[in-house]
Every structure is written in C-alpha cells, then in structure tokens.
Structure 1
Amino acid sequence: MNENNKLYPLKFIPICKDKIWGGGKIFKLLQKQEASTEHCGECWEISGIADNVSQVKNGFLKSNDLNELLEVYMSDLVGEGIYDRFEDNFPLLIKFIDASDDLSVQVHPDKKSSKKIPNAQSKTELWYIMHAEADAKLYIGFKQGVTKESFFEGVAENRVEEMLETYPVQTGDIFFILGGTVHAIGKGILLAEIQQASDTTYRIYDWNRKDEKGNSRELHLDLAEKVLNFDETSSPKIDYDKTKQGTTPLLRNPFFNLNYLLLTQPTEKVYIEIDSFVIYVCVEGEVSIVMDESDVFTLKKGETILKPAACDELTFLPTPSAKLLEIYME
C-alpha cells in the first residue's frame, strides 16, 4: 500500500431517520446536526446496507462509501478471515436509537429461522444505555410459562405487555438480544446498538398506535411466529464493573466481540493478534486517537470511528476521561 494512501481510522457521515416514536435526544445530547430536533429515532453510524451506505467524512477517502472501500481495500479494511466470509458486505451495523415513545414489540430471525423465509437476514444485537429517564424499561423475552398459543391469544386480546419480561434500566447498562428473542425498547431511553448487518424486523404489537393519518402500522404475525424462540431462558443483561479502569472484556460470540474501555490515562493498543477491523463508540467523555505519532483523530460522546484491520497500533489520550465500546470480530 502506498504510504501516502495508507488506511487510517475512519469517521462516517451519520444517517439520521425520523420515526413515529423518535425524539430530540440525538440532536440535543449527541450533538448530531444531521438529526431533526423533534422526531429523530435512529442515527446510523456505520452501515453497508443497501440505500443506507455510510460515507467517509475524514481524510483522503472523504466522500467514498463503505462498500467502495471494501471493494478496493478488502482484507486490509476488515481482516482476511472476515473478508473471506462476508466479501464486500460489511458485517455489522452501528446506530443510536432515541425512544421518546415505546417501540413496537418485535422480533428478528436467528440464523436457522432466517433460512426458512425468503430474503430474511438474521439479526442478533446489543444495547448500551446512554440515557434513561425515571422508570424507563426494556421488554426482552417472555415471562415463565408463556407458550406460542398463549402469546398469540394475548396479541389478539391486547395483553402483550403482561407476557413480557421487563428490565428497569440506567445509564451504562448493557443487554444482549439473540435473534428469535421478542423485545421492545421502552420510552425515555437513548441507547447505542451494535448488531448484525440486517434490517429484517417482524412487528408483533404496536401499542394500538396510529400515525398522523390515523393509520396503524403493518404487523407481521405470520412471519414472527416462524422465528420466535419460546425456550430462551438466559438473562439478556450483561453485568460488569462500570468503575473498573482500562479494558474489560464483556462478550465473545460468533457475531461480534465487545470490550468496555474506561480510560483515564494514555493507553496504547496493539492489534497484531486481531485479524479484524475495530469499531470504537464513545459513550462518555472525549479522547484523542493517535496513529504514527502525527495523525490525531478526536472522538467525542456520540461519535463512532472504524479502525481498519491494517492499522497495527493506536494510542488513546483521554481528556480527561472517556468511556468507549470496543467492537471487533473473530
């Protein structure tokens, strides 16, 4: 690779989406100038999904999109093993979600069930709570004893909420949601979402909500029935010490790995043993990221950056402290 055209940590232009349940926190708390001030529900930070492909906003690759970079840089961007598996399809989607109202009760396919449905893609995801109002909660999984038959009876009778497990949340909480798990984000929550690169969602219940024209949103009960998992009993919450400084490993699985970084002093990261891109999401504070002692990239709360696989070392200089999510694959 030409030294002057060497890959470097990449920032992307946010793709902001208004939603019926969206609010103003992505604009106000995360300082996203691309977001609307009242109804922005999602901000896609890194995406290779068709019609929503992220464009680079820094350095000599500015204005190139993520899929173009994959075609040119291939394994130098994502890692040899990852490129062999996914080729020119970026495997993850990173976004922020602002729920000023309850999101629909929904489900995404897992790998096995997605093969039964044309054009379906599996989706496992993780949520990091960035802000939560008093009494905010998540709905994840079924209460004990709920069966397929009793659940769909409850859907028909508007009794969905009583059948779902609820989790009160506060800033810093983390939840891991496998494909096939019923879930909904409750109102009053701003979160960061790490997920497989899929936009396949089957809506089960929408709280009898109407849009501005008085119409209900489409439900996908037949498809949801094919992918819902009624046997999952493990807790989705990931417990960890939020005050532990340095790097804390939190999750290892076939979909993505996650570490939590609490930085209060200069920290050097060496990536020689990781054959993968690495994504950093800043969830609190600010940090300067230094490459080759001269190239400096600033990352603030609500910003995301992608370290290409070809970058072997970075130095992190918090000012004065920063909390980051570190995401990569194996």
Structure 2
Amino acid sequence: MIKFQPLLKQTIWGGDKIIPFKHLDSHLEQVGESWEISGVKDNETVISNGEYAGMKLNDLVAELKEKLVGKENYKRFGNVFPLLIKFIDARKQLSIQVHPDDDTAHRLGYPMGKTEMWYIMPSDPDAKLRSGLKKKITPEEYKEMVANDTITDAIAEYPVKEGDCFFLPAGRIHSIGAGCFLAEIQQTSDVTFRIYDFKRKDKNGNYRQLHVKEAAESIDYTVHDDYRQHYDKKANAPMVLVESKFFTTTLYDLTEPMDLDYSDLDSFVILIGVGGEGVVTDSEGNKTTLNAGETILVSATEKGLRVEGTVKFLESYV
C-alpha cells in the first residue's frame, strides 16, 4: 500500500481548507489544490513510504508494469499512470472551462483528454458549481455569449453539499464555484481550455489567457435535464457513483469492518479518505491508516483489503 507526498498548488482562487484537512505542517496560503496521486509530466508525485520511498510514480509504473496497474491498463497506458487524484478548495469562483476528449486532444497536440468527476466534501453553506448546458446554443452563439459576458446564462448551476457527485465527461462545460471543497478523480491530463474568467486579473495585473477557439472545438453542446449523479446513500455497503471506461468510483461510509475483494479485478485501486479515521490491512497483514485527507495506491496484485474504523472513503480503479 503506497502513499505519496502531496503536491500543493497555490492559486488565485485557493482557500484554507486543505492544510488542516490533511493535517499538514505548512503555512502556505491560498492552497487551491493538493495533487494526491499524479503521473502528469513535471508534476509527478513522489512515494513517501515503504521500499519505493523517494521514487516518482511513473518510474514505479515502468518498474512494476502490470503488477502495479494491471495487464489491460499497462497495454492501454504504458508507463504513464492513468488517473490523477486531487483535493480542491475554491475560496473564489474558478473560471468557466472545458476539457477535450482524447481525439480532440490528440488533434490539438496534447497526449490525453480529460474526463473527470467531483465528490463534494464539507463545503460552505452557500457553495455552488456549474455543470453542463441548460439550453441549446450553437458554436456561434457560444462565442457571442463569451464576448458579451453572458455565457453563464447558458450553464446549469447547482447548490451543493457534502455527498453530492458530478460526472464530467470530456466536452462538458463546467466551473467550480466559491466555497466548494471536493475530491476530483480524472484522467492523467492537465489540459484545460479556459472559456471565461469573469474579467479577473492575475497578480501582475493581466487578464488570464482564454482558449475560446480550442474550447469551441471541444464543447459537447448536448443539453441534459440533470447533471448530478444520483445514488442511494447507505452505511456499510458500496455506493457506486460513476462507472465509465476511464474509471469506476464507489463510495463507502463505514461504521463496521468491511472486506474488499479484488480477486477478479485487473487494476490498481485507489482509496481516498474523505471523512473519519480508518485502518486498512492487506492480504499479507500489513496495515496503514486511511484517514480523511489520506490517499492510498494499492497494486493490481493485491487480492483484497480489510477496512476498519469509522471512515468514509472513495474507491477508484480503471
């Protein structure tokens, strides 16, 4: 069971929730993101425990190959770890943005597209976010609405609370709102096309770069009635949040011990602590903590885990 040194990202919109949530000894301010597990080039997380301590994630993939990620995943992704795990704390509104799918990303010169999901953790009472178009618009209308500052009128907005979940397939226009605190699971990609940034300026007094043209090529203009993920909330049982070709994510809210069976799974597993305190024991009897703010990578050779404690966590694999 592998843990990593988080990569803390200071942003113009970052808040003060991540440092205490992760119990870090840090005085950094405006930490908007903690990259928990990352194989993104130049932003790889480093292993913090065990025999591989000090090694970068993709170097570990190259060494262990299918033993770490699974046979099919290694064929599909090679030496790049396929998922990026983050905690995000938005004190201020993030930009309106979109991510390309794999085909569009390749056409525009990027290695991979970006499908992602959000699980909302305890957020501010008035926290909101935007996800998906709420009315039909054309690419031409989209460009006009960006130019005349009305693009938010076309995007569905949701008040959010702990336990809410949103799946964002590549192409879905979206924005994290002020007060949101969430866990994000996504493809290993840092490609983001910024559509609109509320006329904000950076610390040097410049407007941040927009990618209106690239975004126009990436947006899925389909309109849906509801962009939330709906699931039945229950204790001590798996709650499937998202099933996709990019990742499957399940929520567990435990008050009693549970055994997780991975004997038929050809994939690594990631456990993300989003509440409480727990202990995880592998099939060889090794133990590690799984507390709120902690993230664990489990190799594809592991056949099962036992989780004990009063703990809420996300389980994700490809």
Structure 1 length-normalised TM:
0.93
CA-to-partner distance for each residue in 1:39-68, whole Å, 9 max, x for gaps? 111100000111111111111211111111
Aligned match of 1:24: 16
Letter in 2 for 1:147: T
Please point out which of 7, 12, 35 is paired with 1:15: 7
Point out where structure 1 has 5 or more consecutive residues left out of the alignment: 1-8
Residues 26 and 35, structure 1, Cα contact 8 Å, conserved in 2: no
Looking at structure 1, the residues matched to 119 and 59 of structure 2 have their Cα atoms a distance apart, in angstroms, of 29
SS in 2 for 1:144: coil
Residues 116 and 185, structure 2, Cα contact 8 Å, conserved in 1: yes
Aligned match of 2:288: 297
Looking at structure 1, the residues matched to 225 and 7 of structure 2 have their Cα atoms a distance apart, in angstroms, of 34
1:120 Cα deviation (Å)? 5.4
Looking at structure 2, the residues matched to 221 and 140 of structure 1 have their Cα atoms a distance apart, in angstroms, of 18
Please point out which of 242, 245, 262 is paired with 1:254: 245
Change (3 A) 1:265 1:244: closer
CA-to-partner distance for each residue in 1:239-279, whole Å, 9 max, x for gaps? 12233322122322101001111111111122110000000
Pair 1:178 & 2:172 matched: no
Task: Output aligned runs, 1:131-170, within 5 Å.
Answer: 131-170=122-161
Change (3 A) 1:123 1:234: farther
Letter in 2 for 1:291: D
Looking at structure 2, the residues matched to 44 and 33 of structure 1 have their Cα atoms a distance apart, in angstroms, of 17
Change (3 A) 1:34 1:55: farther
Looking at structure 1, the residues matched to 40 and 151 of structure 2 have their Cα atoms a distance apart, in angstroms, of 31
Looking at structure 2, the residues matched to 33 and 26 of structure 1 have their Cα atoms a distance apart, in angstroms, of 11
1:317 Cα deviation (Å)? 1.1
Aligned match of 1:67: 58
Residues 109 and 120, structure 1, Cα contact 8 Å, conserved in 2: no
Letter in 1 for 2:12: I
1:234 Cα deviation (Å)? 5.7
Letter in 1 for 2:229: I
SS in 1 for 2:172: coil
Task: Output aligned runs, 1:59-98, within 5 Å.
Answer: 59-98=50-89
Residues 17 and 35, structure 1, Cα contact 8 Å, conserved in 2: no
Task: Output aligned runs, 1:100-115, within 5 Å.
Answer: 100-115=91-106
1:293 Cα deviation (Å)? 5.7
1:135 Cα deviation (Å)? 2.0
Residues 16 and 34, structure 1, Cα contact 8 Å, conserved in 2: no
Looking at structure 1, the residues matched to 87 and 26 of structure 2 have their Cα atoms a distance apart, in angstroms, of 13
1:312 Cα deviation (Å)? 1.3
Letter in 2 for 1:11: K
1:313 Cα deviation (Å)? 2.0
Residues 16 and 35, structure 1, Cα contact 8 Å, conserved in 2: no
Pair 1:122 & 2:113 matched: yes
Residues 270 and 296, structure 2, Cα contact 8 Å, conserved in 1: yes
Pair 1:323 & 2:312 matched: yes
Looking at structure 2, the residues matched to 120 and 55 of structure 1 have their Cα atoms a distance apart, in angstroms, of 22
Letter in 2 for 1:45: E
Looking at structure 2, the residues matched to 229 and 120 of structure 1 have their Cα atoms a distance apart, in angstroms, of 20
1:173 Cα deviation (Å)? 0.5
**Deviates further, 293-302 or 277-286:** 293-302
SS in 1 for 2:39: coil
Identity %: 42
CA-to-partner distance for each residue in 1:158-212, whole Å, 9 max, x for gaps? 1122221101100111100010111100000111000000000010100111122
**Deviates further, 73-82 or 287-296:** 287-296
Task: Output aligned runs, 1:183-202, within 5 Å.
Answer: 183-202=174-193
Letter in 2 for 1:308: S
Change (3 A) 1:197 1:101: same
Quote the RMSD (CA, aligned, Å).
Answer: 1.4
Aligned match of 1:212: 203
1:110 Cα deviation (Å)? 1.2
Looking at structure 1, the residues matched to 315 and 285 of structure 2 have their Cα atoms a distance apart, in angstroms, of 23
Residues 114 and 189, structure 2, Cα contact 8 Å, conserved in 1: yes
Pair 1:40 & 2:31 matched: yes
- How many residues in Structure 1 have an aligned counterpart in Structure 2? 318
SS in 2 for 1:314: strand
**Deviates further, 236-245 or 125-134:** 236-245
**Deviates further, 293-302 or 26-35:** 26-35
Letter in 1 for 2:293: G
